[in-house]
Amino acid sequence: MYAIELENVCKSFGAVRAVDELSVRVPQGCVYGFLGPNGAGKTTTLRMIMDIIRPDSGTIRLFGEPASSPARDRVGYMPEERGLYRKMTVTAVLNYFGSLKGMTAGQLRRRGGEWLHRVDLAEHAGKKVEELSRGMHQKLQFVVTVVNDPDLVILDEPFSGLDPVNQDMLREIISTMRREGKTVLFSTHGMHEAEQLCDFIVLIDRGKIVVNGTLDEIRSGHQANTITIELEGDAGFVQALPMVQAVKQDGRRLEVRLRGDADPQELLRVLVERARVRVFEIKQPSLHEIFVQLVGGGHAEDL
């Protein structure tokens, strides 16, 4: 069973097609990254998964049930725009949102306390939200999201606006959740986080899927064609090799770009035959490079 199933989901706002025939399946127990430039439809999709807005067509299932069903109580959602009741105390806010998610008073006392302790907010439990610092506010928002021990956590741009310490804490928590068998879906601008944390990544642009799969699958579809080499002696012959498209001198090293379908192993064999090879390194394309290549065009820098 999948934690989330989207099938041919469409949503338009006026004349703008925000989400166009989107189909994604999120298996249970994985971390799924939702990437795309601004305005790609990420937030709209996450809101539809949470039944905050309804799709024009297509179906959305949570744990095999419709999105508006009680299955929603098993999901924790942190929107991109964050906010909490400023006049309420930390404990009162936690209790309120926890009980809306179906927790009992006893569960709330235990789990609320645990979580506050885990993010170092325990000593501020009696304070009003407006008295908290920005960093503490962010941590509390996250605790509100996960206090009901959800099986699926959906985070919209969780890393944006976090200070580095809280970013590390959040990464740590996401990894822990995956170890515990929970499912995490988050949208992000940060390729770094996505590469580090995600089992699966889906890239959307203008409401459509550009690429969807595991990190390795995405990488293998975009073979490395840049190789750094360092040879003893004269390296002038490299430029003339048939599989080489371009060579750039970088100090003692050469940066070699291969022709489209050339195999790096072939280059290595030729080099070994003709000179002593000191360095031979195939450069893995970063997600960023892959996505810029895929989305291309003018708004790739939004990634």
Partner 1 sequence: MRKIYRVAEREFMETVKTRTFLLGLLFVPLIIGGIMVFGDKLAPRKDAPREPVRVRVTSASEPLSEKAKAVFEEYNKSHPSAPITFDITITSGAAAQEQGKKALREGRLDAYAAMEGDLEGKGGEVRLFTYKPRPSQVDALGTVERLLREAVINRRYETRGLDRKMLEEISRVSIQWAELGQEQGQERAQGQGQRMARMMVPFAFMYLIFMGIVGMGQHMISSIIEEKNSRIIEVLLSAVSPFEIMAGKIAGLAAVGLAVMALWGAAAYAAARWQDMQIDVGADLLVYGLIYYVLGFVLFSAILAGVGSICNTIKETQSLMMPIMLVFVIPMIAWPRLAQEPNGELARALSYVPPATPMVMVLRLSSGTEIWMGEVVLSFLVLIAGVLIATWAAAKVFRTGILMYGKRPGAGEIVRWLRER
Q: Which is nearer to partner 1, 3 or 211 (CB)?
A: 3
In the complex, the smallest distance separating the C-beta of residue 70 from partner 1, rounded to whole angstroms, is: 11
Identify which of 244, 245, 251, 246 has the alpha carbon closest to the alpha carbon of residue 230: 251
What spatial distance separates the first Cα and last Cα of the chain, rounded to whole Å? 32
Cβ atoms 78, 84 nearer than 8 A: no
Given the complex with partner 1, which of 100 and 277 has the nearer CB atom? 100
Q: Is 12 helix (H, G, I), strand (E, B) or coil?
A: strand
Residues at the contact surface with partner 1, assessed by CB under 8 A? 47, 50-53, 68, 72-73, 75, 77-79, 81-88, 96-97, 99-102, 141, 144-145
Pairing of strands 16-27, 31-35: unpaired
Report the distance separating Cα 52 and Cα 199, nearest Å: 26
**Closer CB to partner 1, 99 or 175, in the complex:** 99
Q: In the complex, what is the shortest distance from the CB of residue 223 to partner 1, in angstroms, rounded to a whole number?
A: 41
Instruction: State in angstroms the smallest separation of the CB of 35 from partner 1.
Output: 21
Of residues 28, 36, 57, the one with CA closest to residue 209: 36
Q: Are 101 and 70 in contact (CB under 8 A)?
A: no
Distance in Å, CB of 137 to partner 1, minimum = 11
Bridge partners of 76, per DSSP, are 153
Nearer CB in complex with partner 1: 50/254? 50
CB 96 → partner 1: shortest distance, Å? 6
Beta strands in the chain (DSSP E): 2-13, 16-27, 31-35, 57-62, 65-66, 75-78, 152-156, 183-188, 200-205, 208-214, 226-231, 244-250, 253-258, 277-282
The residue (of 92 and 300) whose beta carbon lies closer to partner 1 is 92
- Of 27 and 102, CB closest to partner 1: 102
Please name the amino acid found at residue 124.
H
Name the minimum Å distance from CB 100 to partner 1.
4
